[in-house]
């Protein structure tokens, strides 16, 4: 670890610590290959073991300004793991392998790369991505974080995958008077309204990405809709955009980098030829 990382350990979910060099899963030991991302809320790393490659995501476990934050890491892991489990069986969502430690969980690694700026995907890519979203919506799930292009993976076969369900929303089911977890305190009618608005935002962001990457596959109506920003999205941008810019300025000043390598980073796309392991099937049950 460099002195710079130690100096700004408060920016990292695990503080001065790195991800575990190995983890033990049901089928044996998995060794750390690389860390993809380590930010304030979570650290994400690639591991290789008996069944291939897996992803370990660890929520924040160190204090911030003297305030204990392990509860937040535990809550984030609980929430995201539950979202993955609710989405199991949807082709295009990696299989969740369960919790690891107090603030972590593991899911199958998808062979591929994050959708890159100006990348040209095949004609069926966004239709397949829309199918994934429709199936999630049918289960009462709003993905929510589709605005981030790096959350859309292009698999080795050119098919789309969705990862990172950290802020996804699950509304109450028709047979359930309560939402999951903390959402049970929200009135059912309000929870369902929020769900519909978030699902509508999912489809808007889908059209926006499609316009930027494959505009020729859009109908005139879809093209017009890709520019039609709802009041909810405008409100979100008005409130969070200044915070995002401020965070990037702070990161740039402290670390020299304002964005994750996942965001069009050649460092992220570099080959992992040194990892000699068979590929795990992302559809194995």
pLDDT (mean) for 70-88:
95
Q: Which pLDDT does position 176 carry in this prediction?
A: 57
The CATH topology of domain 1-109 is Phosphorylase Kinase; domain 1 (3.30.200)
pLDDT category at 9 given cuts 50, 70, 90 is: confident
**Domain coordinates of the chain in residue numbers?**
1-109, 113-274
Tell me how far apart the terminal alpha carbons of the chain are, to the nearest angstrom: 38
What are the tens digits of pLDDT across the range 89-144? 999 999 999 999 999 999 999 999 999 998 999 999 999 999 999 999 999 999 99
pTM > 0.75: yes or no: yes
Rounded distance between C-alpha atoms, residue 221 and residue 132, angstroms: 21
What are the tens digits of pLDDT across the range 149-181? 999 999 989 999 999 999 999 987 655 555 556
- How far CA 244 is from CA of 30, 128, 254, 258, in Å, comes to 35, 30, 15, 10
Rounded distance between C-alpha atoms, residue 170 and residue 167, angstroms: 10
Q: Which pLDDT does position 277 carry in this prediction?
A: 38
Average pLDDT, rounded, for the chain = 84
Rounded distance between C-alpha atoms, residue 211 and residue 238, angstroms: 23
Rounded distance between C-alpha atoms, residue 159 and residue 121, angstroms: 9
Query: What DSSP letter does each residue of the chain carry, written as one string?
Result: --HHHHHTGGGSTTTTPPPPSEEEETTEEEEEEEEEEE-SSEEEEEEEETTEEEEEEEE--S-BTTB--HHHHHHHHHHHHHHHHHTTT-TTSPPEEEEETTTEEEEEPPSEEEPPTT----TTHHHHHHHHHHHHHHTTEE---TT-GGGEEEETTS-EEE---TT-EEPPPTT-SS-SGGGGGS-HHHHHHHHHHHHHHHHHHHHHHHHHH-GGGS-HHHHHHTT---HHHHHHHHHHHHHHHHHHHHHHHHHS--S-TTTT-HHHHS--TT---PPPPTT--
- Rounded to the nearest 10 degrees, what angle do helices 188-213 and 231-255 cross at? 70
What are the tens digits of pLDDT across the range 198-244? 999 999 999 999 999 999 999 999 999 999 988 777 776 776 667 66
Residue 59 contacts residue 74 (beta carbons within 8 Å): yes
Closest of 205, 202, 204, 214 to residue 118, by C-alpha: 214
CA-based torsion, 34, 86, 150, 249: positive or negative: negative
Q: What class is the 113-274 domain?
A: mainly alpha
């Amino acid at each position: 670890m460099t002195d710079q990382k130690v100096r700004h350990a408060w920016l990292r979910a695990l503080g001065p610590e790195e991800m575990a060099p190995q983890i033990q899963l049901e089928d044996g030991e998995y060794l750390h290959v690389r860390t993809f991302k380590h930010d304030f809320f979570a650290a994400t790393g690639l591991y290789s073991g008996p069944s291939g490659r897996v992803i370990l995501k660890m929520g924040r476990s160190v204090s911030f300004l003297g305030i204990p934050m392990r509860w937040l890491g535990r809550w984030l892991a609980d929430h995201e793991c539950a979202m993955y489990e609710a989405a199991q069986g949807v082709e295009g969502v990696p299989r969740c392998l369960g919790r690891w430690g107090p603030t972590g969980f593991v899911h199958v690694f998808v062979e591929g790369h994050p959708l890159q700026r100006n990348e040209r995907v095949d004609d069926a890519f966004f239709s397949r991505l829309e199918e994934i979203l429709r199936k999630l919506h049918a289960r009462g799930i709003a993905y929510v974080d589709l605005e981030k292009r790096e959350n859309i993976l292009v698999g080795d076969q050119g098919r789309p995958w969705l990862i990172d369900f950290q802020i996804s929303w699950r509304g109450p089911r028709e047979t359930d008077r309560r939402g999951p977890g903390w959402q049970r305190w929200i009135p059912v009618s309000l929870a369902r309204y929020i769900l519909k608005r978030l699902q509508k935002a999912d489809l808007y962001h889908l059209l926006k990405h499609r316009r930027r990457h494959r505009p020729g596959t859009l109908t005139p109506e879809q093209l017009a809709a890709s520019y039609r920003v709802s009041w909810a999205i405008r409100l979100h941008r008005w409130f969070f955009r200044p915070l995002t810019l401020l965070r990037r300025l702070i990161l740039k000043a402290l670390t020299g980098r304002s964005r994750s390598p996942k965001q069009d980073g050649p460092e992220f796309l570099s080959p992992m030829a040194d990892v000699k392991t068979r590929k795990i099937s992302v559809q194995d049950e």
